[in-house]
Amino acid sequence: MTAANGEDDDLARAPWIPAPRESADDHAELAEPPALSHTVLKSLLGAWALSACSAAETRAVEDHLTACAPCADEALRLRDAVTLLHEDRDLDLDPLLRSRVLENCLGRRPARIPVPAWATPYDAETARLDALLRDIGESEWHAPVRLKWYEDDRQVRRKSTVAGVIGHLLAVDGLVSGALGLTDPLGADVSPELTPAERTEAFWESLDRPPNRSLRGPWRDQSHTLIRTVSFAGREVADLTVTYGDFALPLKDALLERAFECWLHADDIANAVAYPYEPPSGPHLHGMIDLAAR
């Protein structure tokens, strides 16, 4: 037997090992992008922005974007928009992000009914507090908070909870609601001579159970309604009188005072739940200091 024949015999006795099967994915990168019309490619831009296209469609779209400027611009806008589809984020983001987004939007398309400048601090502070509330857990709504204020030149302290503080803001913001002819959270029969502290106590006593996170919705709805109402009401509403029991303020100052208190109590809540919280923006803080000085 020759060596060649011996090799042949060895090969004949060797076990047969099948070659691995080739799949379509092995040649996916080698396949040519499908020939799609401009109309079809344009209709795929939304799916492309969401990363929902197949590999072949993605290559076809991206090849098209290198040659079609209008589709490229639209693709960039859609990709930017996708970043806004996430759930609400917490306050660890830049606290000025909201202001920058609104400024950019209003620069491109001014609001048909703009929020009055004197109402923007209240709008901003209620939005910031709502973001904090959105980010805390169920149990943290019952975290203890110690409220402090002054009555007859003496400091008053009152133990409450995070939810109780929101009830306090809801009750006192109701003074502004009543001045505008809106629904008062204490009801239609409440005495207009109650001080903010008395309104708060009356509201807490009216609840069927201890304050809880269910107060967030009514408080936020009330703040939205106040902003919408003063925006549609016109300039003369700024001087409308808001009575605080034993003193009064024009509406433009009352909303600034409510923004100031919203910030202070938001800081109380943040401290109670160990959450970082920044001061108001410079212009808004300047207005609050001016009001306190006046």
Q: Answer yes or no: do 153 and 229 share one domain.
A: yes
Which has more pLDDT, 33 or 195? Answer: 195
Q: Which range, 9-13, 198-202, 245-249, 261-265, is most confident?
A: 261-265
Domain that holds residue 43: 33-86
| % of residues, the chain, pLDDT over 70 | 78
Q: Answer yes or no: do 176 and 52 share one domain.
A: no
Q: Answer yes or no: do 59 and 205 share one domain.
A: no
Q: Which range, 18-32, 174-188, 190-204, 209-223, is most confident?
A: 209-223
Residue 72: the pLDDT is 86
Mean pLDDT of 187-193: 78
Q: Answer yes or no: do 53 and 188 share one domain.
A: no
CA-based R_g, the chain, Å: 32
| % of residues, the chain, pLDDT over 90 | 37
Residue 96: the pLDDT is 62
Residue 165: the pLDDT is 95
Q: Do the domain assignments include residue 2?
A: no
Distance (Å) of CA 292 to CA 136, 286, 288: 31, 10, 6
Q: Is a pLDDT exceeding 80 seen at residue 107?
A: no
Which has more pLDDT, 151 or 235? Answer: 235
Domains: count for the chain: 2
Mean pLDDT of 178-184: 90
Residue 95: the pLDDT is 55
**What confidence tier does 22 reach under pLDDT thresholds 50, 70, 90?**
very low
Q: Do the domain assignments include residue 207?
A: yes
Residue 20: the pLDDT is 44
Flag the least confident range among 54-63, 75-84, 86-95, 260-269.
86-95
Mean pLDDT of 167-193: 88
Residue 285: the pLDDT is 92
DSSP states along the chain: --HHHHHHHHHHHSPP-PPPPP-GGGGTTTSPPP---HHHHHHTHHHHHTT-S-HHHHHHHHHHHTT-HHHHHHHHHHHHHHGGGSPPP-TTS-TTHHHHHHHHHHHHS--SSPPPGGGHHHHHHHHHHHHHHHTS-TGGGG-EEEEEEEETTEEEEEEEEHHHHHHHHHHHHHHHHHHTT---TT-TT--TT--HHHHHHHHHHH-SSS--GGGHHHHHHHHHHHHHHHHHH-GGGGG-EEE-SS-EEEHHHHHHHHHHHHHHHHHHHHHHTT---PPPPHHHHHHHHHHHH-
Residue 97: the pLDDT is 67
Mean pLDDT of 240-252: 89
Q: Answer yes or no: do 71 and 123 share one domain.
A: no
Which of 254, 132, 271 is closest to 196 using CA atoms? 254
- CATH value at residue 101: 1.20.120.450
Q: Answer yes or no: do 107 and 82 share one domain.
A: no
